[in-house]
Chain A
Amino acid sequence: MKKRGFTVLTLVLAAGLVITGLTQGQAREVLMKAVRVCLECIGIG
């Protein structure tokens, strides 16, 4: 029961972090990074 409470708390914390990130426009920054070929990732950057 105690662990279940900790799980719920972690989920709430996760939701809070995601919302904070969204308000700061971080999802858009992830998008801008992900739609360009990452030269480092493919080993030529």
Chain B
Amino acid sequence: MGKGNVRLRIQILAALVQNADFRGFFTGRINQGALKSVCVPGLNCYSCPGALGACPIGSLQAFLSSRPVRFPYYVVGLLLFFGALLGRAVCGFLCPFGLAQDLLHKLPFPRRKLGAFPGDRLLRKLKYAVLLVLVIGLPALVLDYVPAFCKYLCPAGTLGGGIPLVLLHGERLHLSVGGLFFWKLAAALVILLLSIVIFRPFCKYLCPLGALYGLTNPIALYRMHADAGRCTGCGACARACPMQVDPSKTPNSPECIRCGVCTRCCPAQALHLGIRSGAPERKEMKS
């Protein structure tokens, strides 16, 4: 089994485990178990009918938008914990919305797929603006009891919570569906359609959780190790990276989601992912 397939299997398993209350998808009732007091590491809406845990970004905003504003020790602690252990490996392995984008990117597209948008470097900063403005600034300073990111942007909430609940609750929720719902639906559709052409556009440009975990990438326990002694500078890793990182130069870039594509394509086996820094034994290349 290829290592890429291992990652896909872990992603599917993680998405299923985080949304394991399958009855909810038939009854339209969200889970009310005690596990919902624990934030999951990835972006997974707690209003998804199958969700067993709480969304960390939703929980963060709940504290910041309450009045008086209280510091969300518990949520920040959990985010730091996940970040220090895994960094953006959470994005690569555990996030259900990341999985949705990965699956869409596997679909065939009649034209050549794009690596990134024009203005990519600047656009990558957008996710930090989303974090600072929509997740922290507006809820804490301007909008009372309004989780601005969830309300105006989050496509995971629309996909996991909004669409299933509106479909399952029929008449009752149809009456409440208005411009905001259609705005969020359109945003989610655009992001999902773009995922076919560009690898993980939401993770690259908009995800506040990815922005947070990216900051912990350089210190995370699970990290990329680049052996400068083995690297021949061929550039194969940088050409193969779907997140447009050059792992030989910045192995722990905030953009790296630890998908491991570079480790598999390196002819000198100079890159490896793991906790220990020692490089694995060099394997014989197949002729």
Report A's interface with B, CB cutoff 8 A. Answer: 3, 6-7, 10-11, 13-22, 24, 26-31, 33-45
Q: B77-92, CB under 8 A of A: which get 1 and which 0?
A: 1101101110000000
Which stretch, B35-43, B110-118, B122-130, B241-249, touches the partner chain A?
A: B35-43
Decide: B77 and A33 in contact? CB cutoff 8 A: no
Min CB–CB distance A45 → chain B (angstroms): 7
Binding site for A on B (CB under 8 A): 30-32, 34, 36-39, 45-47, 51, 53-55, 58-59, 62-63, 70, 72-78, 80-81, 83-85, 146-147, 150-151, 154, 157-158, 161-162, 165-166, 173, 176-178, 180-181, 183-185, 216, 218-221
Interface SS of chain A: helix
Q: How far is the CA of A43 from the CA of B147 in the complex (A)?
A: 11
Give the nearest-CB partner of B218 in chain A. Answer: A3
**Are A35 and B36 closer than 8 Å at their CB atoms?**
yes
Docked complex Cα distance between A39 and B147 (Å): 10
User: Given A10-B219, A44-B178, do A30 and B74 touch, yes or no (CB 8 Å)?
Assistant: yes
Given contacts A26-B72, A41-B147, A43-B180, contact A34 B157 (CB under 8 A): no
**Bound CA–CA A45/B147 (angstroms):** 10
B residues near A39, Cβ cutoff 8 Å? 176
**Contact between B147 and A40 (Cβ–Cβ < 8 Å)?**
yes
| Cα A38 to Cα B162 with chains together (Å) | 9
